[in-house]
Amino acid sequence: MVNQDPFTQKKKHILDSIASTNEGTLDSSPKGSIDKACIPIIDLINSFDNMVTTSSCSGRVSVFVEGRKETDNDKIKIGAKGNEGKWLFVTHEPENLNNWFKKFQLKDQEKLGLSDVAADTRYVLYKFEPLILHVKCKDLDTAKQLYAISMACGFRESGIGSNNNVAIRCSIRLDAPIAIYNGDSDAFYKLVSTEYLKLLCKISEDRFTENFHKLSILYDSISKATFAAQPEHKETKEERRERKMKEGLLKQQLLKSESSS
């Protein structure tokens, strides 16, 4: 029996835990599964011997209530979801944004102002978060190459962490407080108008489009790269069919995003 190096063992453990890279595979996100738009690039990265994906998100809009805050200022955590915080809305698809807020009773309060908020006020936060991929590399040279590709594709907030872990991310985030939560009455009071909520949705749709465009560019760039220690391999008809199907999925996602914005 051939002894495997630590990286290969780690990669095998990760791939075994994924079992199959599909939308039904569980992960730790609120959605609970790997995002469909991430499957092609996850499969691509994992096809290289010296890289393995450890976590991913294709991009999402989320709305959540901050957790209950302690009155002790040293214990207050801005934007934290723990301590009775909860998700109100999460989507990875731009077409689901239309009038999402109508599903919740966001009450108007005409005189709501700065005097009504305090350090322990619990806000309802609206967020757009772009694609993020975490990739564990076998060596520093591979990590540097993947980092350079990511930066060249517009993922300007990417970085190399400890143990040759590469975080691939960009800066097209959007964060806005949209309401205040009253725990005593279990009610939400709007800080912004309905028109402003619609504007946030429109901006998010545009960012989804940019996000999927960047993902498509990243996929193409990684697929054309030559990483070290890759054996020569002649693509079979079945492998070519699967590759074309995954590339088509990326293009379909981009076109769908563009048509909804």
The pLDDT, as a whole number, for residue 213 is 95
Q: 């995003």: which residue's tokens?
A: 257
Domain tally for the chain?
A: 1
CA distances from 3 to 8, 13, 51, 53 (A): 10, 15, 19, 22
Tell me the pLDDT band of 259, cut-offs 50, 70 and 90: low
The pLDDT, as a whole number, for residue 5 is 87
Torsion sign over Cα 117, 174, 30, 27: negative
Q: Which of 200, 175, 180, 201 is nearest to 190 (CA)?
A: 180
Q: Which of 257, 247, 251, 179 is nearest to 41 (CA)?
A: 247
Structure tokens at 259: 């048509």
DSSP state, 66?
Answer: P
Contact yes or no for 62/87 (Cβ under 8 A)? yes
Contact yes or no for 132/57 (Cβ under 8 A)? yes
The answer to the question of residue 35 being in a domain is yes
Average pLDDT over residues 248-259: 63
Average pLDDT over residues 233-248: 66
Q: Where are the alpha helices (DSSP H) in 95-193?
A: 140-152
Q: Which of 128, 160, 168 is nearest to 142 (CA)?
A: 160
The whole domain housing 212 covers 23-260
The pLDDT, as a whole number, for residue 226 is 83
Percent of the chain with pLDDT over 70: 71
The answer to the question of residue 8 being in a domain is no
Residue 240 has pLDDT above 80, yes or no: no
Residue at 68: amino acid letter: R
Sequential DSSP letters for 94-113:
GGG-TTGGGGS-EE--TT--
The answer to the question of residue 144 being in a domain is yes
The answer to the question of residue 6 being in a domain is no
Average pLDDT over residues 14-20: 77
Q: In angstroms, rounded to a whole number, what is the distance separating the alpha carbons of residues 116 and 199?
A: 25
The answer to the question of residue 1 being in a domain is no
The pLDDT, as a whole number, for residue 183 is 78
The pLDDT, as a whole number, for residue 99 is 87
The answer to the question of residue 97 being in a domain is yes
- Tens-digit pLDDT profile for residues 126-140: 999 999 999 999 999
35 or 19: which leads in pLDDT: 35
Torsion sign over Cα 30, 35, 38, 40: positive
User: Could you tell me which residues are beta bridge partners of residue 129?
Assistant: 60
CATH number at residue 109: 3.30.1960.10
Q: Count CA within 13 A, CB hemisphere, residue 67.
A: 11
Residue 116 has pLDDT above 70, yes or no: no
Average pLDDT over residues 235-239: 69
The pLDDT, as a whole number, for residue 114 is 62
Q: Which of 98, 103, 108 is nearest to 88 (CA)?
A: 103
Residue 256 has pLDDT above 70, yes or no: no
Average pLDDT over residues 15-38: 65
- Tens-digit pLDDT profile for residues 51-89: 999 999 999 999 999 987 665 555 545 555 566 788 999
- Tens-digit pLDDT profile for residues 143-196: 999 999 999 999 999 999 999 999 999 999 999 999 998 877 888 888 899 999
Which CB contacts under 8 angstroms, 24+ apart, belong to 193-197? Answer: 194/101, 197/101, 197/126
The pLDDT, as a whole number, for residue 250 is 63
- Tens-digit pLDDT profile for residues 198-208: 999 999 999 99
Burial (CB count <10 Å: 0-12, 13-18, 19+), residue 182: middle
The answer to the question of residue 179 being in a domain is yes
Q: In angstroms, rounded to a whole number, what is the distance separating the alpha carbons of residues 64 and 56?
A: 20
Q: In angstroms, rounded to a whole number, what is the distance separating the alpha carbons of residues 161 and 39?
A: 23
The answer to the question of residue 11 being in a domain is no
Residue 243 has pLDDT above 70, yes or no: no
- Tens-digit pLDDT profile for residues 210-233: 999 999 999 999 999 987 555 445
CA distances from 257 to 55, 204, 212 (A): 23, 11, 8
